Chains A and B, each alone.
Chain A
Amino acid sequence: MSGTTVIDRRDEPLERKFGTDIERFHERNREVMRKAINKEAGDRSFKDIGKKGMYVPIPKESIQEPVIQHAQGTGSIRRVFPGNKFDTGDKIPVGGGGGGGAGGKEASDDDTPGKDDFVWVSPEEFLDILFEGRKLPDMTKLRAEGVHIKEKEHAGFTNVGPSHKMDASLTEKKRKGDEIVLSKSSERRLVKNLTEQFNILAKYDEELPVLDFSKKSRKERIDYASEKLKAVQQRYQINLETDTSKKDNLRPLLEEAVTALKDRLRDKVTDDQDRQRIQVLEERLPEQMKAKEKAGGYRRDHLTYRYDDEIPQPMAKAVMFCQMDVSFSMQEEEKAAAKSFYWLLYNFLQAKYDQTDIVFIAHTTQAWETDEQEFFYGQESGGTVVSTCLEKTKEIIESRYPPSEWNIYCAQASDGDNVLADNALVTSFMEELLEDVQAFYYTEVGRPYGQTLLPIYQEMAQRYQNLHTTRIMEPGQALDAFKKFFPADAAMAAPQP
């Protein structure tokens, strides 16, 4: 009984019962990492959030692990090194920064204080820290109910299927693999069998050589066999095919020799044991030949068929209007907060619809369509007239996104600042817009001050089911806002496409 157990842990998940060390490391450097990640979230395109990780610089002081040790280069040091090229008494310079010849410490030991170490943060950890451990809503669960079309998609291989789906190259590959292994081993068995027969017969004729193929390569074997079998040829005047150029000839050659010998020597085999043995080997031969012949054949498990699965396709299109005030009153942090929200909404829509368009509308005292870069980083001077933005949205909807075909979502972010006289116009435009759109999300960012849009929208939200409003202060709160818009019972609140 052996004292070894083998455990295959390849399918097991990592042990996380007591939390992870990485988690504790993050916890220790939470503040530094949170700052770096919020900044990064503000800087990058919101479509990239959650797709790329990043390097976060960590100040050396906070991850230092002091330990008692010798000061480098003090005292005289005697050491032994390999690879000598000198003679006793030589004085040689030291290269490679291993000051004082302290071997084993040649790794760059730059202890300059203040130099930062960088830690890699994976996309998942990035989101985790950005949203401060709040659980992201499971967007795939919200997948559309109205399924219209099913498409066939390649989804792997099976061993049974209709003949037109057979993958010939894969099937052949499997067969070939088996053939290589099986034919070699069966060939070896045949040669072994024949050699043994030959050797038994050779016992009864002293002039015949004994064959021993062990520890010879294939080439050596055939040379060796033809060399040895020459004796047989001469003695019995048999014409053997001793062409040594083909390595595969070994078995036919042996076969011929053994058959010839048997004809002449069979009666001379006197020992009972030998005779029985030959009989056993002879009986085994056809079986082994059969195995050899079958080695190249197709077997049931070689056959490989392509397998196509039916995938439901929700055929629906959505457009998302991002509307934002780009006047000076919106600061970087406020934009980053808005961006986090847009990211969530965008991902949600992407999970729900097979085509999602995005339209960016920036506005100051007038509104224009723009790209993401300018949308988040452009800084225009001037006041704020919100109604222009709504008007522009309406224009675009009429020209490009007819509500009968498109699911329209609007997400407006603003610090709530607006020219007082414009508020009446805003209300009327909003009323028109709300007729056409699936949902309108208004997020007010930053701290409240003065008179803002929020109360106006809130008042309107009581009349219109599809208008949602909230306030967020920093990126971390975007998820709370999102969750407020899409409560856990998603079927109830999620807008119907």
Chain B
Amino acid sequence: MTQAKTQQTVPEESKPYYQKIQHLLSHYEEGWDIFINAGRANDFDYPVIRKEGYENDPYLPDTWIGLIDRVCDIIATEEMGLDVYPRRIEIIRPDQMLDVMTTIGLPGSYRHWSFGKDRLMNEEKYNQDKHLAYELVINSVPSIAYCMETNPPFMQALVIAHACYGHNAVFKNNYLFQEFTNAESILQDVERMRDFVFECEETYGRQEVSDFLDFCHAMRFMDVPDTNRKKKLSPRQIEERAKERRMRRHEPTGKEESVFKSVRAAEHFETARIRRDKSGHPHQGEKNILGYMAKHFTHMEPWKRELMRMRSELSEYFKPQMMTKVVNEGFASYTHYKIMSKLFEIGLIDYGMHQEFINSHKGVLIQPSSVRELEHPQTGEMVQVLEPKSINPYTLGFNILMDVERICTEPTEEDKEWFPAIAGNGEPLETVKHIMESCSDETLVERFLSPQVMRDMKLFAVESSKDGGYVEITAIHDDDGFAKVRDILAQNYNLGENLPDVRFYDRQEMGDRCLILRHNSIDGQILDQNETQQVLKHIHRQTKFPVVVESVDDKGKVLQKISSPPNYDYKANANPVHENDNFDLDDLDLDLDGFDI
């Protein structure tokens, strides 16, 4: 009878991935037991002894880490069908991990005091609780995964499955990463920026460069375009372009050039003026303000503009990671869960290692509740208060994907109603992979957050009231609330909701060249006065021109105005200082590139 049952579902032993693993391990002395033995010895440096005749076979991993990676590789690519970039696993010490964590998460980044500050704080935190990330993975080709030397063997297997196959697959296949990042060249780009910063430091002095980078850092969230339609270049082309730009660094600035261009400029200027009088500034709505400055503020020194451009590209690289936290962590957790379970199922790891894995898996997926019971200070009664806890992206992502799997195979009536397209389609893995490829956090929640997950996580929506101190529960995980909770959560993951949506509005080229930015306010939110003032101060100091940011609601009403210098009335300076036709063109730094002539 048991035989009949095994014939229905294909036994693991006859699947191609199993045979591949068997073939691989047959070259090793300890064979199938090698991972269990290393787990018992608690040593990932466990010697892997190849059988006679294979000692020097370069195709057989010679380290335990290499071997477990190969097995994960076989399961991930053969059994799960993941498409991944090549990988590089680096085993590092805690102090090296601190270094990696500090620089914006990229190896070989440029040096800046703010990273030093982060490093000192991380180090201090580490000295206190002796806890660091188990791994860190870079979206590059090859994808670099840093694994800590302090991880026990089962944890190394887990992080390799998580980072090298889970995250890696998202990096390679998710549409946002495909659009915004250039994984093939990022490592070279970063190193090029580091070299360039170093070169500038030697030429212009550390103080000057550091101040300018402060300004670039202050432009965070205003340095990424909405969409990227740029043609992807090969690393070689990028290298050539960079070389070209570098050569131009010591050439005369735009200011000097304008003398020669003045005749042509006068014509262009007129055309441009007529055009913009009709329909606003041609760059209105531009989100990448730092990029705009790099391109059009020709009066700034070329090295500064080059740094701005580099910095803007770097931010672009990070944009998809900010937009896919849930998708990324969810899919990586899903992958490590699948791979580790498979290892246990086919007996490559023993019960003890599997138990350890389950424990740390649970630890990662822990989701603290946002409701806490407190003793009322006056009455002494127990009252329930809202203690905002953000949703753990690992938990949410993992839960959604696991539930999609359930919906695909064993749908309930409710699921059929909510997800007619995927319910009972019988292809859980393919569906999950498709979701990973085509979703951002916002769309993942919008399209695939099921009532079951909302119930499991007990999600509820609140709205803060004006009187402060109290919030109102607007929807909970019941039949009436599911759709609302889902929509609000999706909104929460919309980047614009959390980060101010600041865009280029106008530049008074005819007058004082004041830069005017607009913040599109949602629900009457305004900007932080102090911080924004500081940012504007940076812009003003570096560009030498005044700058204004206005918060505008959807009806066009100005809610708030912040400027540098403070209380600056830009409208009074909108027109040329010399109110006649023969104004001196050399006084103006025309950004000719800016107009499509």
Q: Are B116 and A20 in contact (CB under 8 A)?
A: yes
**Taking the complex as formed, is A450 at the interface, i.e. its CB lies under 8 A from any CB of chain B?**
no
Bound Cα distance from A82 to B380, whole angstroms: 26
Instruction: Check A94–B103 contact: CB distance below 8 A.
Output: no
In the assembled complex, A373 has its CB within 8 A of some CB on chain B: no
B325 to chain A: closest CB distance in Å? 11
> A78 near B491 (CB under 8 angstroms)?
yes
0/1 interface trace, chain B 436-451, chain A, CB 8 Å (1 if under): 0000000000000000
| Interface membership of A67, Cβ < 8 A | yes
- Is A74 a contact of B526 with CB atoms below 8 Å? yes
- Please state if A69 and B474 are interface contacts (CB–CB under 8 Å): no
Which of A14, A75, A92, A102 meets B384, CB within 8 Å?
A: A92
Closest B residue to A90 by CB, please name it: B473
What sequence of 0s and 1s flags, for each residue 204-220 of chain A, a beta carbon within 8 Å of any chain B beta carbon? 00000000001100000
Q: Are A215 and B470 within 8 A (Cβ)? A: no
**CB-based contact A68/B116 at 8 Å:** no
Output the nearest chain A residue to B528 by Cβ-Cβ distance: A71
Q: Return the contact of A102 from the options B220, B372, B388, B460 (Cβ within 8 A).
A: B388
| CB pair A101 B471 closer than 8 Å | yes
Residues of B contacting A214 in the complex (Cβ-Cβ under 8 angstroms)? 347
Q: Quick check: B347 and A215 within 8 Å, CB to CB? A: yes
Distance, CA A6 to CA B92, complexed state (A) = 11
A24–B63 touching, CB < 8 Å: no
Which residue of chain A has its CB nearest to the CB of B562?
A68
Q: Which of A4, A28, A93, A99 contacts B86 (CB 8 A)?
A: A4
Which of A58-66, A255-263, A378-386, A471-479 faces chain B?
Answer: A58-66
Contact A76–B464 (Cβ < 8 Å): yes
Do residues B464 and A10 form an inter-chain contact, with CB atoms below 8 A? Answer: no
A76–B462 touching, CB < 8 Å: no
Asked if B186 is at the interface (CB within 8 A of a chain A CB), the reply is no
Judge if B136 is at the interface, Cβ distance under 8 Å.
Answer: no
Q: Is the CB of B142 within 8 A of A3?
A: yes
B residues in contact with A181, CB < 8 Å: 37, 40-41
Query: What's the nearest-Cβ distance from chain B to residue A7, in Å?
Result: 5
Task: Sort A-B residue pairs by CB-CB distance and give the 10 closest, nearest first.
Answer: A83-B369, A25-B116, A66-B534, A21-B116, A95-B385, A3-B86, A75-B525, A81-B370, A98-B388, A84-B460
- A selection of 8 A-B contacts at a CB cut-off of 8 Å is A24-B210, A63-B113, A68-B549, A70-B526, A83-B371, A83-B458, A104-B388, A181-B40
Taking Cβ atoms with an 8 Å cutoff, the residues of A that contact B are 1-10, 12, 14-15, 18-28, 63-96, 98-104, 106, 111, 119-120, 177, 180-181, 185, 188, 214-215
Cα–Cα, bound, A2→B24 (Å): 12
**Chain B residues close to A by CB (< 8 Å):** 30, 33, 37, 40-41, 59, 61, 63, 65-66, 69-70, 73, 84-93, 95-96, 99, 102-103, 108, 110-120, 123-124, 127, 142, 149, 164, 194, 198, 206, 210, 214, 217-218, 220-222, 347, 367-372, 374, 383-391, 457-466, 468-478, 480-481, 485, 488-489, 491-492, 498-500, 502, 521-532, 534-535, 538, 549
The answer to whether B367 touches A82 (Cβ under 8 A) is yes
* Residues on A with beta carbons closer than 8 Å to the beta carbon of B480: 88
A78 and B70 within 8 A (CB)? no
Question: Closest residue of chain B to A25, judged by CB?
Answer: B116
With a cutoff of 8 Å between Cβ atoms, the chain B residues found around residue A1 in the complex are: 59
Residues of B within 8 A of A84 (CB): 371, 458-460, 473, 476-477
B-chain residues with CB within 8 Å of residue A82 when the two chains form the complex:
367-370, 389, 391, 457-459
**CA A103 to CA B396, docked complex, whole Å:** 15
Cα distance, A26 to B477, chains bound together (Å): 52
> In angstroms, how far is the closest chain A Cβ from the Cβ of B554?
12
Indicate which residue in B90, B371, B462, B535 contacts A68 across the interface (CB closer than 8 Å). B535
Q: Are the C-beta atoms of A83 and B525 separated by less than 8 Å?
A: no
